[in-house]
Structure 1
């Protein structure tokens, strides 16, 4: 019987290992395969012939994959196949280990690698079935928005639902903090992951679908790609509008919003690595709102905020994509099922495909699992629909909320909300002494 190699590529997610589990359990129950190997550190594990024997593991460890976040079990990589020599090496290792099935879990670049391996195997007469498993928190693997409200190729990517839930809960918690501290910290700027794609940023609205919070959502696609100064000025204008109405403001900004040169590093695929940048979008924006670029003669910042106090910023960092505590049960289930479906494609001899998730149109949320040729999805990336960006450029529409809400699983936490039933004032009006100099 032929053996299996499974590998993971790119940034991890909180549910990536459940796709691995889905594939492993499907292969093991088939009785049609020999060994299952996990390539240590993605495709590099194949090139270096570092293959973890998964079939030799305790079954309990396979089960634990369901609730194990990130990709540390077998590892991942950001290595781009650029040479024929690398491809020939992959064929050599597969031949040596009697590999008949290769499953690669990742984004569009990973699907490109899987496609190249599939084509070369066919060219060399090597009987290797190559199948892709979708994964990306950015939700950028897939096609355009269709007339029926679903996306072509892959409606949504495993990993996105959990990071969207994580973001929404963070916004709910940040709102409670902002309500408590706005007299000194009226503005909180929260940076989220997503490179040039706004799906994660947009998920902040899922925390407040009724639009009751003083919340601004700034997607990379919404503002100018060239004029960062006008972007900063426009955001400041919108922030002050919210401050005048609510005295406080929460801003969720995508890491790829153009706010000037951030000193960004890039990986081997040419993708920006914002988590390793010299500066971050939320930091630059908070500094601008606080007026650090226009200090007075005494070196004091001259704030651009229309209320007293400062803008703070926070960068949740890569914890957004790895936390299991905020996992979406829908995302977890679908990650398993799409991994299992990929294994079924392989066992049926269907090579050169990626397993995909299709949403069934209708009011009730339902999906089905299908396949798409690797050459269709390789190196393709969808765009956040422009019609889902609000007219004021600092929010998203209800159509996005309707599409995304089912992906984050069960209800979000509900926090206490006191009505402002105040005791009658019995004393004279009074301005705290420390606030009189500020003109409060």
Structure 2
């Protein structure tokens, strides 16, 4: 009979989830010893091939790897020590990645051991770690959060940091080092893999794709883990708001959703709830829309619904919208320069108005006009909220508040011109941290476990410089395909802090892709009607088509590939 686990201080649902058994891909049914490595074609980076190759002479051009049924090499049965680190923001399913790694290692050889570096890459540099045993892991299976070993945002990139990482990995006698993180963290994993090779180390470095933002994806990484759970959590909240809107019929709700660099979350939540407006940053950038044009677009929908007696609605706003507006991006860049160049003069000024007038005087006429058009609160945020490098903290800007305040002014103008006779009352929300540590959906529980188990198999086969890849995700979990994708394959060169840096290219919403086409096809109807969908809470028990469903984004992307 299967062992069941109980822990203190947990909800009834969490207690039940501890005993959920994730479904492994069929190829791993008999453990790591039942699969062998199949090498594919050699690879090259997505862009800047010559530069990336020069930066990664030891790990560039590695072949794609897929696992197929067959007898593994004898090396996979030798006892090893592995270490795992969680890097960056939390995402639902992190604990299942660790569980998958542990179970894969123990299945190959009960003497294999797994350690976790504490509080992210900083723990690697400080050599703070603890062993992850089956007994300890039993308390965290299928749970949300990263609290087993916690996370951090330190980067291991300077010569001194790389040297310290090398020293601690060698001190621990680790045969494998597994980095669980997003695009920046896995770029860092690629840098570490290259450095270890350069130094003649035999430690395998493996990455695992994590980010609720959904911007770490490509042909081989169909989605990053946590995206499914987070968007289901946000969709429940937005769906509840849609139902409330349809009941009260007197408010417009503006919901800002996490996703600074890409609009995947807003798009997916839009599919799940069908609100009246879904703004997509990538479309704004492609059309070079101004802030005024966005306000005109929103006002047009509000006026049209009001003419039908509908002074209510729901609009979704991606967190990073401001950075997609060309003129706002230009303004932010100019403000960074002005504030840095005149720091001492500004410090002597006593009021925000005085500082604002001074800053405006240093801007070009076009940007000065834009700055003056912004609500006072937003203009103050742009000047006062700085990060440690002196730059505007865009993620702190309440974009939904900016839009609503400017809409009040726009609608007042239209009312004065006799073009708007309705009412406009707005309520604003930001959903971000609410989605990062939820109990993972069945999809994420299965996917994360498979990603971790697959990472263990990559490590056992001494593969280094690879990202764990699990594909065919719209199929049942037992039919998923596993392997490894070279980290350098996903890289390009970007200029950061005045230097050329190799980075894994962020995946933005593809305007020619099937998901966005679906939005374009349906959004006019959503704007006019109440086509709202109310998805409700995540379902963990019941029919598979409800409990194990993938994201709408994946379904639309994979529809033609089935």
User: Which bracket does the TM-score occupy, shorter chain normalised?
Assistant: 0.7 to 0.9
Q: Tell me, yes or no, if structure 1 residue 176 matches structure 2 residue 239.
A: no
Q: Distance in 2 between matches of 1:270 and 1:334?
A: 39
> Aligned match of 1:128 in 199, 203, 209?
203
| 1:56-67 paired onto structure 2 within 5 Å | 59-67=134-142
| 1:207-356 paired onto structure 2 within 5 Å | 207-208=272-273, 215-224=276-285, 227-245=290-308, 246-258=310-322, 263=381, 275=395, 277=396, 279-291=397-409, 306-324=421-439, 327-356=440-469
Q: Which residue of 2 aligns with 1:166?
A: 233
- Give the CA deviation at 1:329: 1.2
Q: Distance in 1 between matches of 2:524 and 2:109?
A: 49
- Give the CA deviation at 1:16: 1.6
Q: Which residue of 1 aligns with 2:511?
A: 386
Q: Which residue of 1 aligns with 2:170?
A: 95
Q: Tell me, yes or no, if structure 1 residue 203 matches structure 2 residue 268.
A: yes
Q: Which residue of 2 aligns with 1:415?
A: none
Q: Distance in 2 between matches of 1:272 and 1:106?
A: 25
- Give the CA deviation at 1:5: 1.1
Q: Distance in 1 between matches of 2:387 and 2:120?
A: 15
Q: Give deviations 1:271-314, integer Å, cap 9, x for gaps.
A: 99655x1x31112122223339979xxxxx99x97522401111
| 1:4-23 paired onto structure 2 within 5 Å | 4-23=82-101
- Give the CA deviation at 1:363: 12
- Residue 189 of structure 1 contacts residue 252 of structure 1 at CA under 8 Å; is this kept in 2? yes
Gapped regions of structure 1 (runs ≥ 5): 144-151, 296-300, 399-404, 413-440
DSSP 3-state at the match of 2:317: strand
Gapped regions of structure 2 (runs ≥ 5): 1-78, 333-377, 492-503, 526-534, 540-544, 548-562
- Give the CA deviation at 1:47: 0.4
Q: Distance in 2 between matches of 1:223 and 1:40?
A: 40
Q: Which residue of 1 aligns with 2:184?
A: 109
Q: Which residue of 2 aligns with 1:146?
A: none
* TM-score of the aligned structures, taking structure 2 as reference length: 0.60
Q: Which residue of 2 aligns with 1:82?
A: 157
Q: Distance in 2 between matches of 1:106 and 1:306?
A: 51
Q: Give deviations 1:91-144, integer Å, cap 9, x for gaps.
A: 10011111111000011211111111111111211110111111111111122x
Given the superposition, is the C-alpha separation of residues 361 and 173 from structure 1 closer, same or farther in structure 2, using an over 3 Å criterion? closer
DSSP 3-state at the match of 1:308: coil
> Aligned match of 2:106 in 9, 24, 28?
28
Q: Which residue of 2 aligns with 1:359?
A: 472
**Number of matched residues?**
378
- Residue 218 of structure 1 contacts residue 394 of structure 1 at CA under 8 Å; is this kept in 2? no
Q: Which residue of 1 aligns with 2:498?
A: none
DSSP 3-state at the match of 1:188: strand
Q: Distance in 2 between matches of 1:124 and 1:273?
A: 38
- Residue 94 of structure 2 contacts residue 146 of structure 2 at CA under 8 Å; is this kept in 1? yes
Q: Distance in 2 between matches of 1:39 and 1:3?
A: 13
Q: Which residue of 1 aligns with 2:496?
A: none
| 1:406-421 paired onto structure 2 within 5 Å | 411=546
The 4+ residue runs of structure 1 with deviation greater than 6 A are 264-273, 292-295, 360-365, 391-398
- Residue 222 of structure 1 contacts residue 389 of structure 1 at CA under 8 Å; is this kept in 2? no
Given the superposition, is the C-alpha separation of residues 108 and 140 from structure 1 closer, same or farther in structure 2, using an over 3 Å criterion? same
Given the superposition, is the C-alpha separation of residues 197 and 14 from structure 1 closer, same or farther in structure 2, using an over 3 Å criterion? same
- Give the CA deviation at 1:34: 4.5
- Give the CA deviation at 1:4: 1.3
- Residue 100 of structure 1 contacts residue 127 of structure 1 at CA under 8 Å; is this kept in 2? yes
Q: Distance in 1 between matches of 2:136 and 2:314?
A: 42
Q: Distance in 2 between matches of 1:355 and 1:181?
A: 48
